[in-house]
Amino acid sequence: MVWRPAARPDYDGPLLLDTHMWVWMLEGDVGRMSPKSVALMERAAASRQLYVSDISFWEVAVKAAKGKLSLSLNPAIWLRQAENASGVSYLPVDRTILILSAQLQGELHGDPADRILISSAQLHGIPIVTVDALIVGYARSRNGVPVCDARK
C-alpha cells in the first residue's frame, strides 16, 4: 500500500512520521521532501492526526550520541521540546509492536527502529510518511504495510 501525496491530495487521515521526517519537520528542513508531503503533514497536524512513535525518541538520541545526527539544540533539550510540538501525538511502543517487529517477513534491513515503525503502521493502520527507499521498497513487496512515499 504505497502511495504518493500527489495521488491522494485529499487524504485527511492519520500519518506516522518516519524519524527523519519528524526531525526535518521540527528543524524546518522541509526542502528534502515533496511540497505535497509537507502540505499533507501540515493538514494532519492541524487535525491532531500526526503521529510519531516513541522509538523515534530513542533513534534521535542514539544517532546524536554517535555523531550521525546534528540538531539545532543539545539532543536532550531538543527531545524535551519535541514532546510539545504542535499537532503531534505520540504512539507508545508496546509488547505487541515489539513482537510484530521481530516477525516481519521478507527482505528488510535489520534497523530496529524501522522495523518498529513498520509494525506500528501495520497494527494501527496508519501510513508511514518516509523518504527511506528501503521502507518504500519493503512496503511494495508486502501487503498490509501502509506507506506514503514523500520523496521528491
Q: What is the pLDDT of residues 81-131, one digit of tens each?
A: 999 999 999 999 999 999 999 999 887 878 999 999 999 999 999 999 999
42 CB-near residues (< 8 Å, 6+ apart) = none
**For residue 133, which phi and psi values (nearest 5 degrees)?**
-60, -30
What is the average per-residue pLDDT within 54-81? Answer: 96
144 — pLDDT class (breaks 50, 70, 90):
confident
User: For residue 93, what pLDDT is reported?
Assistant: 97
Query: In the structure grid, which three cell numbers stand for residue 151, read together?
Result: 520523496
- Domain ranges for the chain, please list them: 2-149
Residue keyed to cell 501487503:
143
Q: How far apart are CA 96 and CA 79, in angstroms?
A: 25
The CATH code of domain 2-149 reads 3.40.50.1010
- The answer to whether the CB of 20 falls within 8 A of the CB of 135 is no
Q: What is the pLDDT of residues 12-30, one digit of tens each?
A: 999 999 999 999 999 999 8
Q: Mean pLDDT for the chain?
A: 94
